[in-house]
Structure 1
Amino acid sequence: MNQLQCHRIQSLQVLVEPKDREATWDAVEVYFQCISECDLNDRECTISCTRQLRDAS
């Protein structure tokens, strides 16, 4: 990782409020719960879980 990339990552971390970070992790947790209930071959289920995660952010 070069210096510019490191700076960008640090800048992004500063912009995320603790409450927003918590909401993001909550959405990720819900996503993993959802995806774990999907059959591995059920593409519609996995797409639905992904949409829920995307819409939560």
Structure 2
Amino acid sequence: MKIYISADIEGVTGITHWDETEKSKSDYQKFAKQMTDEVKAACEGAIKAGAKEIW
């Protein structure tokens, strides 16, 4: 099974305002880490479900 994951910071859990998606804002780093953690979790779940390739 091959998996393609597309992620953008606007869809991260906890984002409630566009300002939080701008690199110059104070919360950006927190949400960038959250996005990384969410994509990592999706990859780990896909591997456990039998994915052989993740793009």
Normalising by structure 2, report the TM-score. Answer: 0.41
Bigger helix share:
1
Indicate the structure (1 or 2) with the bigger Cα radius of gyration: 1
Normalising by structure 1, report the TM-score. Answer: 0.40
Bigger strand share:
2
